[in-house]
Structure 1
Amino acid sequence: MQIDAHQHYWDPARGDYGWLTPDLAALYRRFGPADLAPLRERAGIARTVVVQAAPTVDETRYLLGLARDDDSIAGVVGWVPLLDREAPALIAELARDAKFKGVRPMLQDLPDDDWIANPALAPAIEALIAHELAFDALVFARHIDALQSFASRYPSLRIVVDHGAKPPIVEGPAGWQPWADRIAKLARLPHVHCKLSGLATEAAPRWTEATLRPYVDHLLASFGPDRLMWGSDWPVLNLNGDYLLWHSIATTLLDVLTDAQRDAIFGGNAAAFYRLEV
């Protein structure tokens, strides 16, 4: 079974997507399961993991509501105010929903690059571990050192790096470092996984297989086929690509692998990491 490990649904009318403005014309409308269904079916994707796009608990509940009504949604990664004293209780409440699989604090948007080092996060993180929930890390290369220290403190926490830590592909060879060294170092921690997603968005327009190959190869060499999972990042992907193109090119970029290894990246790893019922 193929699984899209990272996609979004949203409705701007809900009013809590601060980043989603009319200037982003390709994205500024409601996107729901019916919009993705024909693309999923053409790509052979059976289930998805829906990831939060607004830093609100209300959006998390909205996504869980969609998941209850659509079996294609295998899991939801939501948002919780991790520094709030009520965070552990809220995590426990949300965890009662079988499709609630993890949280994402949107680290890339926080003003403090070292926010994740705050010791006051400990009660919420311990609650995630206790309820067997995952942690999605939305970061740039500049956040990786802090993320590595955080991950080292919590070896029992399942962590996945979204979008390969967003390498600055648009800069070409000049943007390779320090991303490449930092992500390789982070990958030495065995409980840290990575999503093969979001790369097209970081590239210049008219990107090709050759544009993305060095980055995919480096992530594969760093994490191995057992800790990578494919995701579309749809509909954000629509800013600089499309679902079927990215799925096709990712398949080509991984053609050096065995069938079992490709199956893992395109589904098995996501199912195991998020503890999906598939």
Structure 2
Amino acid sequence: MTTTMTIDAHQHYWDPARGDYGWLTPEMKPLYRLFGSDDLAPLRQATGVQRTVVVQAAPTVEETRYLLDLARGDDSIAGVVGWVPLDSIDAVKIIDELAREPKFKAVRPMLQDLPDDSWIEHAPLDAAIRRLIELDLAFDALIFARHVPALIEFVERYPKLRIVIDHGAKPPIREGIDAGWQPWADGIVQLAALPQKPFCKLSGLATEASPNWTEETLRPYVAHLLDQFGPARLMWGSDWPVLNMNGSYAAWHDTATNLTSHLEKAQQDAIFGGNARAFYRL
């Protein structure tokens, strides 16, 4: 794989019939159906995206095994970010089992959905996190600004853990720049300044915006992420098919391309593939 390979660093496949997507209900009509590789293939081809990182969407080990099964037979899937019960006495055993699959690259607890905003600070077993580090597996942090203090406590305890912030920490874009900028912007500054230099995904922003968002709607948020993390620590992701609720694959890809077009080609190539390849060891 070359450094210019274009990679979607964050997308999902799911089948509601599996029954473990608690957040996915029939009322979410654009999303409540099977989404697989055949659905994404034409969108990837139209935008030049060659490979993807598939991310868990259910807090079950069974769904992670489902994604790994898909990945085994699909060359377009470069890696899988799965779910592990990090607070369980079985966590290390489960990590070891999943890590036998070469495309298993990272874990993601669904922090945004947990009732305890400080869960990450105290709940995961030390042995489980240290096993991730030993196996060179990464950690996806699915957070809002309110989770930043607890995440910083966690990150500072494990300086060798490779961490990526999903969806730019989900800024409340639909509230408008005046009401929705802080405390998100300060949280990004704090996260980007951490000594282990976490990465961040340029993804999910369209989902957080109001309908009929434009390039200008997202510009200040992309600019702030670029300013703080720099082009060497940002990776583009679609968040498809969640993206379908408030945008399209092509529109978000074009918008992200335009909002990073002032960068040098090598820097833009890094955001759209090279950084994901390096971070996830693809």
Tell me how far 1:120 sits from its aligned partner.
4.8
Asked if 1:97 is matched to 2:128, the reply is no
Indicate which of 239, 251, 269 corresponds to 1:263. 269
Give the match for residue 180 of structure 1.
185
Q: Give, in angstroms, the shift of residue 121 of structure 1.
A: 2.2
Query: What is the distance in 1 between the residues matched to 2:28 and 2:171?
Result: 22
Q: Which amino acid aligns with 1:132?
A: D
C-alpha contact 1:197 1:232 (8 A) present in aligned 2:
yes
Name the SS of the counterpart of 1:18 in structure 2. Answer: coil
1:211 and 2:217 correspond: yes
Task: Please point out which of 116, 129, 132 is paired with 2:120.
Answer: 116
Is the aligned partner of 1:27 residue 2:12?
A: no
Matched, 1:275 2:281: yes
Distance (whole Å) between structure 1 residues aligned to residue 94 and residue 26 of structure 2? 33
Q: Is 1:149 aligned to residue 153 of structure 2? A: yes
Aligned residues: 276
- Per the alignment, residue 243 of structure 2 pairs with 237
Separation of aligned partners in 1, 2:105 and 2:229: 22
CA RMSD of aligned residues (A): 0.7
CA distance in structure 2 between the aligned counterparts of 1:121 and 1:252, rounded to whole angstroms: 42
Map residues 40-59 of structure 1 onto 2, 5 A cutoff.
40-59=44-63
Q: CA deviation at 1:158?
A: 0.5
For the Cα contact (< 8 Å) 2:59–2:110, is it kept in 1? yes
Query: Which consecutive aligned stretches of 4+ in structure 1 deviate over 3 angstroms post-superposition?
Result: none
Q: Secondary structure at the match of 1:65?
A: helix
Tell me if 1:107 matches 2:111: yes
Measured in 1, the distance between the counterparts of 2:208 and 2:125 equals: 30
C-alpha separation between the residues in 1 aligned to 2:32 and 2:197? 36
The separation in 1 between residues aligned to 2:261 and 2:84, in whole angstroms, is 38
Could you tell me which amino acid in structure 2 is paired with residue 188 of structure 1? A
Structure 2 residue identity aligned to 1:202? E
Instruction: Give the alignment's TM-score, normalised by structure 2.
Output: 0.97
Structure 1: distance between partners of 2:145 and 2:101: 33
- Whether the 8 Å CA contact 1:107–1:138 is kept in 2: the answer is yes
Aligned: 1:168 with 2:168: no
SS in 1 for 2:80: strand
CA distance in 2, matches of 1:119, 1:17: 22
1:86-110 Cα offsets, whole Å, 9 max, x none, are 1111101111110000100000000
The CA deviation at 1:29 is: 0.2
Paired letter, 2:182: Q
Distance 1:191 1:110 in 2: 25
Contact 1:156–1:191 (8 Å) recurs in 2: no
Offset at residue 118 of structure 1 (A): 1.0
Query: Alignment partner of 1:6: what SS?
Result: strand
* Contact 1:155 1:191 (8 Å CA) reproduced: no
Report SS of the residue matched to 2:22: coil
**Counterpart selection for 1:192 from 192, 198, 201:** 198
| Selected match of 2:80 from 76, 80, 101 | 76
Question: 1:46 & 1:251 partners in 2: Cα distance?
Answer: 16
Q: Is the 8 A contact 1:80 1:91 kept in 2?
A: yes
